[in-house]
Amino acid sequence: MDQFGNGQEINLNNLAMNTTLSFENWTMEMFRNMCILSGCDYLPSIPGLGLKKAYGLLNKYKDMDRVRA
């Protein structure tokens, strides 16, 4: 969500149609962990770790326990 309360709905069934990032062979757990790593409004974010970097780490290591930022 942005500062005005506007957001985008992400339909998990449509992830395969994404042309920027490939979610082929991704599990729901990997997707959830990517979202967690990229930060939220309730806790301070990890500096330098946004959505694209979180995607790259999970795509490479496949498991949250193996991720090293």
Q: How many C-alpha atoms does 19 have within 13 Å on its Cβ side?
A: 0
Q: Where are the domains of the chain?
A: 12-64
* Most distant CA atoms of the chain, gap in Å: 36
| Alpha-carbon span 48 to 63, nearest angstrom | 20
Class level of CATH domain 12-64: mainly alpha
**Mean pLDDT (whole number) for 49-59:** 92
Per-residue pLDDT band for 55 (boundaries 50, 70, 90) equals very high
* Structure confidence at residue 20 (pLDDT): 85
Per-residue pLDDT band for 69 (boundaries 50, 70, 90) equals low
pLDDT in tens, 6-49: 888 878 788 778 788 888 888 889 999 998 888 877 778 889 99
- Contacts of residues 14-18 at CB distance under 8 Å and 24 or more positions apart, as own/partner, are none
Residue 54 has pLDDT above 90, yes or no: yes
